[in-house]
Amino acid sequence: MTPQQSTTEPSSPGAAGRSATPRPLDEVDRRIVGALERDARLSVRSLAEQLHLSRAATYARLQRLLDDGVIAGFGARIVPHLAGLHTTAYIALQIEQNTWRSVSAALAELDYIDSISLLASEFDVLALAHAPDNQALRTLVLERIQAIPGVLGTRTWLAFEEIRGAGTPWVR
C-alpha cells in the first residue's frame, strides 16, 4: 500500500494483525510518521529518498506502522476558514456517568464536530467545532448537542484564532 491509497476505517485494538502491546517507535519510525504528517501524498519512493532508506526498508516499516495501527489512514488537512467554516468553538460537556460511549458516538455523527476528547476535569467531554457562522454553532449546541441523551450541560468558548498542527511530537 502506498501513502496515496486510502485505508478503511481503523479496526478495533487487538484486531487481527495488531500486536497486543504496541512496539515503541524508534527514530526512523518517528521520521516516517513526521514526513507523512507533513505530506501524506508522499510515495514510498519519495519517502525513502527523503529519509535516506531503501525502498524495501521504507515499505516494510510503513506496512508495520499501518499493521500496528500507528498510522490509521491518510487524508487531507482542511483549513476551516478557507472551507467556509468561519466560527471555531470549544464545547465542554457535562455528561451522566457511564454515558461516554453513547455520547461520543452521537457527537461523532454531528456536522461541524472536528474532535472529541474525554477529560479528567470539571467537564467530562471537550469537543472542537468548526461551523459556518454563529447561528450554525448555536443550532449545533442548543438543539443538537443538548438533545443527546446523557448530556447534562454545556459551556462554549469561541476561538478567535487557531494554529493547527503546532507542536507535533514527530521529528521534523
- Give residue-wise pLDDT tens across range 83-135: 999 999 999 999 999 999 999 999 999 999 999 999 999 999 999 999 999 99
The total number of structural domains that make up the chain: 2
Question: What pLDDT was estimated at residue 60?
Answer: 96
Q: Are residues 42 and 93 in the same domain?
A: no
Task: Give me 126's grid cell.
Answer: 471537550
| Within-domain flag for 169 | no
C-alpha dihedral, 93 to 94 to 100 to 104, nearest 10°? -20
**37 — alpha (psi -120 to 50), left (phi > 0) or beta?**
alpha
Question: What pLDDT was estimated at residue 113?
Answer: 97
Judge whether 70 and 33 are in contact, CB under 8 Å. Answer: yes
Task: Give me 39's grid cell.
Answer: 505530506
Q: Are residues 65 and 54 in the same domain?
A: yes
| Within-domain flag for 36 | yes
Question: What pLDDT was estimated at residue 171?
Answer: 56
Share of the chain above pLDDT 70, in %: 84
Per-residue pLDDT band for 170 (boundaries 50, 70, 90) equals low
- Would the pLDDT of 14 be above 70? no
